[in-house]
Amino acid sequence: MKLISLNKYICLLILIISFQSLYAEEEIDIWNKEIKDKTKILKQENQPSEDTINSELFKKSQTNTSIKIENEILENSQEVKIFGIYDPAENDFDLNMWTQTEAEDIKSSFKRIKKIQLSNTATKLFEKTILSIAYPPKNMGEKEFVNLKINWMIENKRIDLIEKFLNQNNTFPNKKKLIQYLVDSNIAKANIKEGCSKIDFLDKTIKDSYLDRFKIYCLVFNKKKNEAQLQFDILREENKSDNFFDDKMNFLLGVTSNTSKKIKDDNLLNFYLSSVTIENFSYEPTAKTQKIIWEYLNAANLIKLNDDRDKEKLKSLEIAANQNQFDKQKIFDIYSNISFDLNSLLKAEDIYQTFDNIDARALIYQKYLLSDKEENKIKLLFLLKDLFQKDKLSNIFVEFLSDRLKEINLNDVSDSYKEVVQKNIITKEELTLGKIKYDDKILHRSRLLRYINNEVDQKKAQKDFLKIYKKIKKNRKYFFSAKDLALVESLAEDGFEIPKELDYQEISKKYSIPSNLLSLGKSKQSAFLTLKLVEIIGEDEAYNLDPETIYFITHLLNKNNLKKIRNEILISALPQRS
Protein backbone atom coordinates (compact mmCIF):
# COMPACT_ATOMS: atom_id res chain seq x y z
CA MET A 1 0.00 0.00 0.00
CA LYS A 2 2.83 2.35 0.79
CA LEU A 3 4.40 1.65 -2.63
CA ILE A 4 1.08 2.36 -4.41
CA SER A 5 0.66 5.61 -2.46
CA LEU A 6 4.21 6.61 -3.38
CA ASN A 7 3.56 5.93 -7.07
CA LYS A 8 0.38 8.05 -6.91
CA TYR A 9 2.34 10.84 -5.28
CA ILE A 10 5.04 10.72 -7.99
CA CYS A 11 2.41 10.79 -10.75
CA LEU A 12 0.68 13.74 -9.13
CA LEU A 13 4.03 15.58 -8.85
CA ILE A 14 4.76 14.99 -12.55
CA LEU A 15 1.37 16.39 -13.49
CA ILE A 16 1.93 19.52 -11.38
CA ILE A 17 5.37 20.12 -12.91
CA SER A 18 3.96 19.64 -16.42
CA PHE A 19 1.14 22.10 -15.70
CA GLN A 20 3.61 24.69 -14.37
CA SER A 21 5.75 24.28 -17.49
CA LEU A 22 2.75 24.85 -19.72
CA TYR A 23 1.72 27.86 -17.63
CA ALA A 24 5.24 29.28 -17.90
CA GLU A 25 5.20 28.86 -21.67
CA GLU A 26 1.89 30.66 -21.77
CA GLU A 27 3.35 33.53 -19.71
CA ILE A 28 6.32 33.83 -22.07
CA ASP A 29 4.03 33.90 -25.10
CA ILE A 30 1.94 36.67 -23.55
CA TRP A 31 5.06 38.69 -22.65
CA ASN A 32 6.39 38.27 -26.19
CA LYS A 33 3.08 39.49 -27.49
CA GLU A 34 3.28 42.52 -25.18
CA ILE A 35 6.81 43.24 -26.39
CA LYS A 36 5.70 42.99 -30.02
CA ASP A 37 2.73 45.24 -29.33
CA LYS A 38 4.96 47.75 -27.50
CA THR A 39 7.50 47.73 -30.36
CA LYS A 40 4.70 48.30 -32.83
CA ILE A 41 3.48 51.26 -30.75
CA LEU A 42 6.97 52.75 -30.57
CA LYS A 43 7.42 52.42 -34.35
CA GLN A 44 4.16 54.28 -34.85
CA GLU A 45 5.13 56.97 -32.32
CA ASN A 46 5.67 59.72 -34.90
CA GLN A 47 2.67 58.79 -37.05
CA PRO A 48 -0.50 60.90 -36.60
CA SER A 49 -3.41 59.11 -34.96
CA GLU A 50 -6.68 60.11 -33.31
CA ASP A 51 -5.86 57.80 -30.39
CA THR A 52 -2.39 59.29 -29.82
CA ILE A 53 -2.01 61.83 -27.01
CA ASN A 54 -1.26 65.19 -28.57
CA SER A 55 2.16 65.88 -27.08
CA GLU A 56 5.17 67.44 -28.80
CA LEU A 57 7.60 66.32 -26.08
CA PHE A 58 9.06 63.55 -28.22
CA LYS A 59 8.97 65.56 -31.44
CA LYS A 60 11.69 64.55 -33.97
CA SER A 61 13.31 62.19 -31.47
CA GLN A 62 15.15 59.59 -33.54
CA THR A 63 17.54 58.23 -30.91
CA ASN A 64 17.93 54.52 -30.17
CA THR A 65 18.60 55.00 -26.49
CA SER A 66 15.74 54.74 -24.03
CA ILE A 67 14.31 57.72 -22.23
CA LYS A 68 13.47 58.02 -18.57
CA ILE A 69 11.29 60.92 -17.50
CA GLU A 70 10.28 60.77 -13.84
CA ASN A 71 9.34 57.10 -13.25
CA GLU A 72 8.43 56.01 -16.78
CA ILE A 73 11.05 53.91 -18.63
CA LEU A 74 11.02 52.91 -22.26
CA GLU A 75 13.14 49.76 -22.36
CA ASN A 76 15.95 49.49 -24.90
CA SER A 77 19.66 48.87 -25.11
CA GLN A 78 20.66 51.80 -22.89
CA GLU A 79 18.83 53.99 -20.41
CA VAL A 80 19.28 57.77 -20.58
CA LYS A 81 17.60 60.00 -18.00
CA ILE A 82 16.65 63.53 -18.95
CA PHE A 83 15.68 66.36 -16.63
CA GLY A 84 14.29 69.85 -16.93
CA ILE A 85 11.27 72.09 -16.47
CA TYR A 86 9.98 72.99 -19.93
CA ASP A 87 8.54 70.78 -22.64
CA PRO A 88 10.95 71.55 -25.51
CA ALA A 89 8.06 71.83 -27.96
CA GLU A 90 6.80 74.87 -26.03
CA ASN A 91 9.67 76.80 -27.60
CA ASP A 92 9.97 74.89 -30.90
CA PHE A 93 12.85 72.75 -29.63
CA ASP A 94 12.97 68.94 -29.47
CA LEU A 95 14.66 66.27 -27.38
CA ASN A 96 17.75 66.33 -29.64
CA MET A 97 18.32 70.07 -29.31
CA TRP A 98 21.78 69.52 -27.75
CA THR A 99 22.89 66.21 -29.26
CA GLN A 100 24.89 67.72 -32.14
CA THR A 101 26.83 70.13 -29.91
CA GLU A 102 30.12 69.32 -28.21
CA ALA A 103 30.23 69.49 -24.41
CA GLU A 104 33.23 71.82 -24.41
CA ASP A 105 31.35 74.36 -26.56
CA ILE A 106 28.48 74.40 -24.08
CA LYS A 107 30.78 74.79 -21.06
CA SER A 108 32.72 77.62 -22.73
CA SER A 109 29.49 79.46 -23.53
CA PHE A 110 28.32 79.05 -19.93
CA LYS A 111 31.57 80.57 -18.65
CA ARG A 112 31.15 83.61 -20.90
CA ILE A 113 27.48 84.07 -20.00
CA LYS A 114 28.32 83.82 -16.30
CA LYS A 115 30.38 87.01 -16.62
CA ILE A 116 27.46 88.97 -18.12
CA GLN A 117 24.72 90.75 -16.17
CA LEU A 118 21.97 89.39 -18.39
CA SER A 119 18.98 91.53 -19.29
CA ASN A 120 15.45 90.29 -18.73
CA THR A 121 15.26 89.37 -22.44
CA ALA A 122 18.50 87.37 -22.36
CA THR A 123 17.64 85.70 -19.05
CA LYS A 124 14.27 84.44 -20.30
CA LEU A 125 15.88 83.07 -23.47
CA PHE A 126 18.62 81.37 -21.45
CA GLU A 127 16.13 79.79 -19.04
CA LYS A 128 13.94 78.37 -21.78
CA THR A 129 16.97 76.90 -23.51
CA ILE A 130 18.92 75.35 -20.66
CA LEU A 131 15.90 74.17 -18.64
CA SER A 132 14.10 72.43 -21.51
CA ILE A 133 13.85 68.65 -21.16
CA ALA A 134 16.38 67.20 -23.60
CA TYR A 135 19.25 64.76 -24.15
CA PRO A 136 22.74 65.87 -23.04
CA PRO A 137 25.28 67.30 -25.51
CA LYS A 138 28.01 65.18 -27.12
CA ASN A 139 30.56 63.79 -24.66
CA MET A 140 28.59 65.00 -21.64
CA GLY A 141 26.91 62.65 -19.19
CA GLU A 142 23.50 63.24 -17.66
CA LYS A 143 25.05 64.06 -14.26
CA GLU A 144 27.31 66.79 -15.63
CA PHE A 145 24.47 68.22 -17.71
CA VAL A 146 22.02 68.41 -14.81
CA ASN A 147 24.75 69.99 -12.66
CA LEU A 148 25.03 72.84 -15.18
CA LYS A 149 21.34 73.51 -14.68
CA ILE A 150 21.49 73.14 -10.88
CA ASN A 151 24.53 75.39 -10.46
CA TRP A 152 23.05 78.14 -12.63
CA MET A 153 19.79 78.18 -10.65
CA ILE A 154 21.70 78.35 -7.35
CA GLU A 155 24.20 80.99 -8.50
CA ASN A 156 21.33 83.18 -9.69
CA LYS A 157 19.21 82.50 -6.58
CA ARG A 158 16.28 81.32 -8.70
CA ILE A 159 14.23 79.76 -5.93
CA ASP A 160 11.12 79.83 -8.15
CA LEU A 161 12.83 77.66 -10.78
CA ILE A 162 14.46 75.41 -8.18
CA GLU A 163 11.08 74.53 -6.69
CA LYS A 164 9.63 73.87 -10.17
CA PHE A 165 12.60 71.64 -10.96
CA LEU A 166 12.13 69.66 -7.74
CA ASN A 167 8.39 69.32 -8.32
CA GLN A 168 8.79 68.09 -11.90
CA ASN A 169 11.75 65.72 -11.46
CA ASN A 170 11.45 62.94 -8.90
CA THR A 171 15.06 61.76 -8.77
CA PHE A 172 18.13 63.29 -10.35
CA PRO A 173 21.87 63.60 -9.61
CA ASN A 174 22.76 66.08 -6.86
CA LYS A 175 19.14 66.57 -5.81
CA LYS A 176 20.28 67.06 -2.23
CA LYS A 177 22.27 70.14 -3.30
CA LEU A 178 19.10 71.91 -4.45
CA ILE A 179 17.20 70.92 -1.31
CA GLN A 180 20.02 72.11 0.96
CA TYR A 181 20.10 75.41 -0.92
CA LEU A 182 16.37 75.90 -0.30
CA VAL A 183 16.80 74.96 3.36
CA ASP A 184 19.81 77.24 3.90
CA SER A 185 18.26 80.18 2.05
CA ASN A 186 15.33 80.08 4.48
CA ILE A 187 17.53 79.65 7.56
CA ALA A 188 19.53 82.65 6.34
CA LYS A 189 16.30 84.64 6.31
CA ALA A 190 15.55 83.39 9.85
CA ASN A 191 12.44 81.75 8.37
CA ILE A 192 12.69 78.28 9.90
CA LYS A 193 9.04 77.41 9.32
CA GLU A 194 9.43 77.84 5.55
CA GLY A 195 12.77 76.03 5.60
CA CYS A 196 11.20 73.03 7.31
CA SER A 197 8.53 72.86 4.60
CA LYS A 198 11.26 72.37 1.97
CA ILE A 199 12.46 69.22 3.68
CA ASP A 200 9.40 67.52 2.16
CA PHE A 201 11.36 67.30 -1.10
CA LEU A 202 13.52 64.62 0.53
CA ASP A 203 12.86 61.00 -0.41
CA LYS A 204 14.23 57.64 0.69
CA THR A 205 16.84 57.61 -2.08
CA ILE A 206 18.65 60.64 -0.62
CA LYS A 207 21.10 59.90 2.16
CA ASP A 208 22.59 63.12 3.47
CA SER A 209 23.54 63.72 7.09
CA TYR A 210 23.09 67.52 6.84
CA LEU A 211 19.50 67.26 5.62
CA ASP A 212 18.75 64.39 8.01
CA ARG A 213 19.91 66.54 10.93
CA PHE A 214 17.83 69.49 9.81
CA LYS A 215 14.80 67.19 9.42
CA ILE A 216 15.22 66.09 13.06
CA TYR A 217 15.48 69.70 14.20
CA CYS A 218 12.28 70.51 12.27
CA LEU A 219 10.46 67.79 14.19
CA VAL A 220 11.57 69.48 17.42
CA PHE A 221 10.61 72.90 16.00
CA ASN A 222 7.14 71.56 15.15
CA LYS A 223 6.81 70.05 18.66
CA LYS A 224 7.04 66.42 17.55
CA LYS A 225 9.67 65.42 20.09
CA ASN A 226 8.84 61.70 20.22
CA GLU A 227 9.32 61.35 16.48
CA ALA A 228 12.43 63.52 16.65
CA GLN A 229 13.89 61.27 19.37
CA LEU A 230 13.27 58.18 17.24
CA GLN A 231 14.92 59.72 14.16
CA PHE A 232 17.79 61.00 16.29
CA ASP A 233 18.42 57.49 17.69
CA ILE A 234 18.47 56.06 14.15
CA LEU A 235 20.89 58.79 13.03
CA ARG A 236 23.32 57.90 15.82
CA GLU A 237 23.04 54.18 15.12
CA GLU A 238 24.03 54.91 11.51
CA ASN A 239 27.04 56.98 12.75
CA LYS A 240 25.77 60.10 10.98
CA SER A 241 25.81 62.34 14.04
CA ASP A 242 28.68 63.97 15.95
CA ASN A 243 29.33 65.25 19.47
CA PHE A 244 28.18 68.79 18.66
CA PHE A 245 24.82 67.73 17.18
CA ASP A 246 24.31 65.17 19.96
CA ASP A 247 24.82 67.87 22.56
CA LYS A 248 22.37 70.28 20.90
CA MET A 249 19.68 67.67 20.32
CA ASN A 250 19.87 66.28 23.85
CA PHE A 251 19.40 69.82 25.13
CA LEU A 252 16.50 70.61 22.77
CA LEU A 253 14.82 67.27 23.50
CA GLY A 254 15.10 67.87 27.25
CA VAL A 255 17.43 64.93 27.87
CA THR A 256 20.02 67.31 29.40
CA SER A 257 19.56 70.70 31.04
CA ASN A 258 22.84 72.22 29.85
CA THR A 259 24.57 72.62 26.49
CA SER A 260 28.05 73.55 25.36
CA LYS A 261 28.79 77.24 24.83
CA LYS A 262 30.86 76.36 21.78
CA ILE A 263 29.83 78.18 18.59
CA LYS A 264 30.34 76.13 15.46
CA ASP A 265 30.31 78.05 12.16
CA ASP A 266 31.49 75.41 9.69
CA ASN A 267 27.98 75.36 8.17
CA LEU A 268 24.76 77.33 8.59
CA LEU A 269 22.82 74.62 10.43
CA ASN A 270 25.49 74.25 13.14
CA PHE A 271 25.69 78.01 13.47
CA TYR A 272 21.91 78.31 13.74
CA LEU A 273 21.79 75.59 16.42
CA SER A 274 24.48 77.46 18.32
CA SER A 275 22.47 80.69 18.20
CA VAL A 276 19.19 79.16 19.45
CA THR A 277 20.68 77.09 22.27
CA ILE A 278 23.25 79.46 23.81
CA GLU A 279 21.89 82.04 26.22
CA ASN A 280 22.99 85.61 25.47
CA PHE A 281 24.45 84.43 22.17
CA SER A 282 27.21 86.70 20.88
CA TYR A 283 29.31 86.28 17.76
CA GLU A 284 31.86 88.55 16.13
CA PRO A 285 31.85 87.98 12.32
CA THR A 286 35.01 88.68 10.35
CA ALA A 287 35.94 89.11 6.70
CA LYS A 288 36.41 85.31 6.54
CA THR A 289 32.90 84.58 7.83
CA GLN A 290 30.73 82.84 5.25
CA LYS A 291 28.36 85.18 3.40
CA ILE A 292 25.33 83.05 4.29
CA ILE A 293 26.16 83.35 8.01
CA TRP A 294 26.35 87.13 7.59
CA GLU A 295 22.88 86.96 6.02
CA TYR A 296 21.50 85.01 8.97
CA LEU A 297 23.10 87.35 11.53
CA ASN A 298 21.57 90.28 9.70
CA ALA A 299 18.09 88.71 9.37
CA ALA A 300 18.04 87.53 12.99
CA ASN A 301 19.25 90.95 14.19
CA LEU A 302 22.25 89.38 15.91
CA ILE A 303 24.77 92.03 14.85
CA LYS A 304 25.00 94.79 17.40
CA LEU A 305 27.51 97.53 17.98
CA ASN A 306 27.41 98.00 21.74
CA ASP A 307 30.13 100.66 21.65
CA ASP A 308 29.97 103.16 18.76
CA ARG A 309 33.64 103.94 19.41
CA ASP A 310 34.62 100.37 18.55
CA LYS A 311 36.15 101.40 15.23
CA GLU A 312 37.58 98.00 14.39
CA LYS A 313 34.20 96.33 14.56
CA LEU A 314 32.52 99.18 12.68
CA LYS A 315 35.18 98.94 9.98
CA SER A 316 34.50 95.21 9.57
CA LEU A 317 30.76 95.95 9.28
CA GLU A 318 31.42 98.57 6.60
CA ILE A 319 33.47 96.06 4.59
CA ALA A 320 30.72 93.46 4.98
CA ALA A 321 28.06 95.95 3.82
CA ASN A 322 30.20 96.89 0.82
CA GLN A 323 30.30 93.19 -0.09
CA ASN A 324 26.50 92.88 0.32
CA GLN A 325 26.87 90.74 3.44
CA PHE A 326 25.43 93.28 5.86
CA ASP A 327 22.46 95.63 5.60
CA LYS A 328 23.81 98.91 4.20
CA GLN A 329 21.13 100.99 5.93
CA LYS A 330 22.40 99.81 9.32
CA ILE A 331 25.75 101.48 8.59
CA PHE A 332 23.95 104.81 8.34
CA ASP A 333 21.99 104.02 11.50
CA ILE A 334 25.29 103.50 13.33
CA TYR A 335 26.67 106.77 11.91
CA SER A 336 23.67 108.65 13.26
CA ASN A 337 24.35 107.36 16.80
CA ILE A 338 27.99 108.48 16.97
CA SER A 339 28.24 111.50 19.31
CA PHE A 340 29.60 114.88 18.15
CA ASP A 341 29.48 118.23 19.93
CA LEU A 342 27.42 121.06 18.47
CA ASN A 343 30.48 123.05 17.38
CA SER A 344 31.77 120.11 15.29
CA LEU A 345 28.40 119.75 13.56
CA LEU A 346 28.22 123.47 12.76
CA LYS A 347 31.73 123.49 11.22
CA ALA A 348 31.55 119.96 9.73
CA GLU A 349 32.62 120.90 6.16
CA ASP A 350 35.69 122.74 7.52
CA ILE A 351 36.94 120.26 10.11
CA TYR A 352 35.91 116.78 8.85
CA GLN A 353 39.47 116.19 7.55
CA THR A 354 40.81 116.34 11.11
CA PHE A 355 38.79 113.21 12.01
CA ASP A 356 39.56 109.61 11.11
CA ASN A 357 37.73 108.27 8.03
CA ILE A 358 34.83 106.64 9.89
CA ASP A 359 34.13 109.69 12.07
CA ALA A 360 34.46 111.96 9.02
CA ARG A 361 31.73 110.01 7.20
CA ALA A 362 29.53 109.98 10.33
CA LEU A 363 30.00 113.73 10.85
CA ILE A 364 29.12 114.66 7.25
CA TYR A 365 26.15 112.28 7.30
CA GLN A 366 24.74 113.87 10.45
CA LYS A 367 25.26 117.35 8.96
CA TYR A 368 23.33 116.18 5.88
CA LEU A 369 20.44 115.05 8.12
CA LEU A 370 20.37 118.48 9.78
CA SER A 371 20.45 120.45 6.50
CA ASP A 372 17.28 122.00 5.13
CA LYS A 373 18.50 123.65 1.90
CA GLU A 374 18.48 121.47 -1.21
CA GLU A 375 21.77 122.70 -2.69
CA ASN A 376 23.56 122.23 0.64
CA LYS A 377 22.18 118.68 0.84
CA ILE A 378 23.57 117.97 -2.62
CA LYS A 379 27.03 119.30 -1.65
CA LEU A 380 27.11 117.13 1.47
CA LEU A 381 25.94 114.02 -0.40
CA PHE A 382 28.72 114.35 -2.96
CA LEU A 383 31.27 115.04 -0.24
CA LEU A 384 30.06 111.86 1.45
CA LYS A 385 30.41 110.05 -1.89
CA ASP A 386 34.08 111.07 -2.05
CA LEU A 387 34.67 109.86 1.50
CA PHE A 388 33.23 106.42 0.70
CA GLN A 389 35.29 106.22 -2.49
CA LYS A 390 38.44 107.08 -0.53
CA ASP A 391 38.12 103.84 1.47
CA LYS A 392 36.84 101.85 -1.56
CA LEU A 393 33.39 101.49 -0.02
CA SER A 394 31.36 102.97 -2.89
CA ASN A 395 28.93 100.06 -3.01
CA ILE A 396 27.52 101.12 0.35
CA PHE A 397 26.68 104.58 -0.91
CA VAL A 398 25.74 104.36 -4.60
CA GLU A 399 22.09 103.31 -4.10
CA PHE A 400 21.70 105.52 -1.02
CA LEU A 401 22.95 108.51 -3.04
CA SER A 402 20.53 107.78 -5.89
CA ASP A 403 17.55 107.44 -3.53
CA ARG A 404 18.38 110.69 -1.71
CA LEU A 405 18.86 112.59 -4.98
CA LYS A 406 15.42 111.44 -6.15
CA GLU A 407 14.01 113.25 -3.12
CA ILE A 408 15.59 116.55 -4.18
CA ASN A 409 13.19 119.12 -5.61
CA LEU A 410 15.03 120.21 -8.74
CA ASN A 411 12.95 123.41 -8.95
CA ASP A 412 14.82 124.61 -5.88
CA VAL A 413 18.33 124.18 -7.34
CA SER A 414 20.32 125.89 -10.08
CA ASP A 415 20.81 124.37 -13.54
CA SER A 416 24.41 123.37 -12.79
CA TYR A 417 23.20 121.17 -9.91
CA LYS A 418 20.36 119.66 -11.93
CA GLU A 419 22.76 118.03 -14.38
CA VAL A 420 24.90 116.55 -11.58
CA VAL A 421 21.84 115.19 -9.78
CA GLN A 422 20.36 113.54 -12.89
CA LYS A 423 23.65 111.86 -13.78
CA ASN A 424 23.84 110.17 -10.38
CA ILE A 425 20.30 108.85 -10.24
CA ILE A 426 20.15 105.13 -11.00
CA THR A 427 17.33 104.32 -13.41
CA LYS A 428 15.81 100.84 -13.49
CA GLU A 429 13.89 99.57 -16.51
CA GLU A 430 10.32 98.78 -15.60
CA LEU A 431 9.36 95.18 -16.14
CA THR A 432 6.03 96.26 -17.62
CA LEU A 433 6.77 97.91 -20.94
CA GLY A 434 3.39 99.51 -21.33
CA LYS A 435 0.49 99.10 -23.76
CA ILE A 436 1.33 98.79 -27.46
CA LYS A 437 0.46 101.83 -29.58
CA TYR A 438 -0.19 100.74 -33.16
CA ASP A 439 0.88 103.04 -35.96
CA ASP A 440 -0.14 101.87 -39.45
CA LYS A 441 2.08 104.50 -41.08
CA ILE A 442 5.16 102.49 -40.04
CA LEU A 443 5.15 98.81 -41.00
CA HIS A 444 6.97 97.41 -37.96
CA ARG A 445 4.72 99.42 -35.60
CA SER A 446 1.48 98.59 -37.37
CA ARG A 447 -1.43 96.43 -36.22
CA LEU A 448 0.34 93.48 -37.90
CA LEU A 449 1.94 93.05 -34.49
CA ARG A 450 -1.40 91.74 -33.27
CA TYR A 451 -0.63 88.58 -35.24
CA ILE A 452 2.85 88.31 -33.70
CA ASN A 453 1.23 88.76 -30.28
CA ASN A 454 -1.32 85.99 -31.03
CA GLU A 455 -4.26 88.42 -30.95
CA VAL A 456 -5.56 87.70 -34.49
CA ASP A 457 -5.31 84.74 -36.86
CA GLN A 458 -3.25 84.62 -40.05
CA LYS A 459 -6.21 85.14 -42.36
CA LYS A 460 -7.16 88.42 -40.68
CA ALA A 461 -3.52 89.54 -40.48
CA GLN A 462 -3.00 88.83 -44.21
CA LYS A 463 -5.83 91.24 -45.10
CA ASP A 464 -4.43 93.85 -42.72
CA PHE A 465 -0.98 93.46 -44.26
CA LEU A 466 -2.19 94.16 -47.81
CA LYS A 467 -4.17 97.22 -46.70
CA ILE A 468 -1.30 98.67 -44.66
CA TYR A 469 1.26 98.02 -47.41
CA LYS A 470 -1.00 99.69 -49.98
CA LYS A 471 -1.04 102.88 -47.86
CA ILE A 472 2.69 102.81 -47.17
CA LYS A 473 3.51 102.29 -50.87
CA LYS A 474 1.97 105.66 -51.65
CA ASN A 475 4.54 107.38 -49.43
CA ARG A 476 7.54 107.79 -51.75
CA LYS A 477 9.69 109.01 -48.87
CA TYR A 478 9.05 105.88 -46.79
CA PHE A 479 12.26 104.19 -45.64
CA PHE A 480 12.05 100.38 -45.42
CA SER A 481 14.09 99.72 -42.25
CA ALA A 482 15.81 96.63 -40.85
CA LYS A 483 12.94 96.37 -38.37
CA ASP A 484 10.46 96.33 -41.24
CA LEU A 485 12.54 93.62 -42.87
CA ALA A 486 12.54 91.55 -39.66
CA LEU A 487 8.73 91.68 -39.57
CA VAL A 488 8.11 91.01 -43.28
CA GLU A 489 10.60 88.12 -43.44
CA SER A 490 8.94 86.58 -40.38
CA LEU A 491 5.50 86.88 -41.98
CA ALA A 492 6.82 85.27 -45.16
CA GLU A 493 8.27 82.38 -43.12
CA ASP A 494 4.81 81.88 -41.63
CA GLY A 495 3.27 81.57 -45.08
CA PHE A 496 2.00 85.10 -45.70
CA GLU A 497 1.58 86.30 -49.29
CA ILE A 498 4.07 89.13 -49.83
CA PRO A 499 3.50 91.57 -52.73
CA LYS A 500 5.99 90.95 -55.54
CA GLU A 501 7.15 94.58 -55.62
CA LEU A 502 8.22 94.21 -51.98
CA ASP A 503 11.36 92.20 -52.72
CA TYR A 504 12.41 91.63 -49.12
CA GLN A 505 14.94 88.96 -50.15
CA GLU A 506 16.81 91.49 -52.28
CA ILE A 507 16.69 94.06 -49.47
CA SER A 508 18.09 91.49 -47.02
CA LYS A 509 21.31 91.19 -49.07
CA LYS A 510 22.63 94.44 -47.67
CA TYR A 511 22.58 92.99 -44.15
CA SER A 512 25.26 90.49 -43.21
CA ILE A 513 24.59 87.51 -40.94
CA PRO A 514 27.57 85.99 -39.05
CA SER A 515 28.52 82.82 -40.94
CA ASN A 516 29.38 80.90 -37.76
CA LEU A 517 25.83 81.39 -36.51
CA LEU A 518 24.33 80.35 -39.84
CA SER A 519 26.39 77.14 -39.71
CA LEU A 520 24.88 76.22 -36.33
CA GLY A 521 21.47 76.09 -37.96
CA LYS A 522 22.71 73.90 -40.79
CA SER A 523 24.24 71.47 -38.29
CA LYS A 524 21.00 71.31 -36.26
CA GLN A 525 22.46 72.98 -33.17
CA SER A 526 19.39 75.06 -32.36
CA ALA A 527 19.98 75.15 -28.58
CA PHE A 528 23.61 76.19 -28.93
CA LEU A 529 22.50 78.91 -31.35
CA THR A 530 20.18 80.37 -28.71
CA LEU A 531 23.06 80.38 -26.20
CA LYS A 532 25.05 82.40 -28.72
CA LEU A 533 22.13 84.81 -29.05
CA VAL A 534 22.05 85.14 -25.26
CA GLU A 535 25.70 86.22 -25.41
CA ILE A 536 24.92 88.74 -28.17
CA ILE A 537 21.89 90.25 -26.40
CA GLY A 538 23.77 90.27 -23.10
CA GLU A 539 22.85 93.22 -20.89
CA ASP A 540 20.50 94.80 -23.43
CA GLU A 541 16.75 94.41 -23.61
CA ALA A 542 15.38 93.55 -27.05
CA TYR A 543 13.91 97.04 -27.47
CA ASN A 544 17.36 98.56 -26.92
CA LEU A 545 19.06 96.56 -29.68
CA ASP A 546 19.96 98.31 -32.92
CA PRO A 547 17.74 97.47 -35.96
CA GLU A 548 20.43 95.44 -37.77
CA THR A 549 20.94 93.21 -34.71
CA ILE A 550 17.19 92.72 -34.35
CA TYR A 551 17.03 91.66 -37.99
CA PHE A 552 19.84 89.12 -37.92
CA ILE A 553 18.57 87.61 -34.63
CA THR A 554 15.07 87.12 -36.05
CA HIS A 555 16.54 85.85 -39.34
CA LEU A 556 18.48 83.15 -37.49
CA LEU A 557 15.45 82.20 -35.41
CA ASN A 558 13.37 81.94 -38.59
CA LYS A 559 15.93 79.72 -40.29
CA ASN A 560 15.92 77.39 -37.27
CA ASN A 561 12.13 77.35 -37.01
CA LEU A 562 12.25 78.87 -33.51
CA LYS A 563 9.20 81.02 -34.15
CA LYS A 564 7.87 81.26 -30.61
CA ILE A 565 11.14 82.75 -29.39
CA ARG A 566 11.24 84.94 -32.50
CA ASN A 567 7.81 86.35 -31.67
CA GLU A 568 8.91 87.22 -28.14
CA ILE A 569 11.89 89.14 -29.52
CA LEU A 570 9.74 90.94 -32.09
CA ILE A 571 6.98 91.93 -29.68
CA SER A 572 9.57 93.43 -27.34
CA ALA A 573 11.74 95.08 -30.00
CA LEU A 574 9.32 96.53 -32.58
CA PRO A 575 6.26 98.28 -31.16
CA GLN A 576 5.90 101.74 -29.75
CA ARG A 577 4.40 101.67 -26.27
CA SER A 578 2.44 104.11 -24.17
pLDDT of residue 78: 53
Give the residue, 311 or 229, on which the prediction is more confident: 229
pLDDT, tens digit, 9 for 90 and up, residues 119-169: 989 999 999 999 999 999 999 999 999 999 999 999 999 999 999 999 999
Q: What is the dihedral of CA 87, 90, 96, 98, to 10 degrees?
A: -90
Predicted local confidence at residue 67, as pLDDT: 45
pLDDT tier, 431 (very low <50, low <70, confident <90, very high otherwise) = very low
Given a cut of 50, whether residue 88 has pLDDT beyond it is: yes
| pLDDT at residue 538 is higher than 50 | yes
- Range 473-497 average pLDDT: 95
- pLDDT-based confidence at residue 307 (cuts at 50, 70, 90): low
Counting every residue written for the chain, the total comes to: 578
* Between 187 and 414, the higher pLDDT residue: 187
- Alpha helices in 256-356, H assignment, sequence order: 268-277, 291-299, 311-322, 328-337, 342-346, 348-351
pLDDT score at 80: 74
* Residue 235: half-sphere exposure toward Cβ, Cα within 13 Å: 24
pLDDT band for 418, please (50, 70, 90 cuts). confident
Q: What is the mean pLDDT of residues 337-341?
A: 89
Count of beta carbons in the 10 Å neighbourhood of residue 132: 24
- Cα separation, 294 vs 307, whole angstroms: 20
Question: What is the model's pLDDT at position 406?
Answer: 85
When pLDDT is cut at 50, 70 and 90, the band that residue 426 belongs to is low
For residue 35, the model assigns a pLDDT of: 33
Average pLDDT value for the chain: 84
56 pLDDT higher than 80: no
Q: What is the mean pLDDT of residues 421-435?
A: 59
Check if the beta carbon of residue 190 is closer than 8 Å to that of residue 300.
Answer: yes
pTM of structure: 0.70
Distance CA 39, CA 45 (A): 10
Instruction: Give the separation between CA 483 and CA 444, rounded to whole angstroms.
Output: 6
- How far apart are the C-alpha atoms of 13 and 20, rounded to whole Å? 11
Percent of the chain past pLDDT 70, that is, above it, reads 84
Strands (E) located in 400-533:
436-437
Supply the pLDDT for residue 245: 96
pLDDT one-digit tens code per residue, 11-36: 444 444 444 443 333 333 323 333 33
Query: How far is it, in rounded angstroms, from Cα 501 to Cα 523?
Result: 34
In this prediction, residue 433 has a pLDDT band, given cuts at 50, 70 and 90, of low
Is the model more confident about 33 or about 383?
Answer: 383
Average pLDDT over residues 479-503: 95
Structure confidence at residue 2 as a pLDDT band (50, 70, 90): very low
Predicted local distance difference test score (pLDDT) of residue 8:
47
Q: Is the CB of residue 241 less than 8 Å from the CB of residue 159?
A: no
pLDDT digit string, tens, across residues 216-258: 999 999 999 999 999 999 999 999 999 999 999 999 999 999 9
Percent of the chain with pLDDT over 90: 64
pLDDT at 412 > cutoff 80: no
At residue 408, the pLDDT reads 82
Band (pLDDT 50/70/90 cuts) for residue 3 is very low
Is 80 exceeded by the pLDDT of residue 175?
yes
The pLDDT tens digits of the residues spanning 349-370 come to 999 999 999 999 999 999 999 9
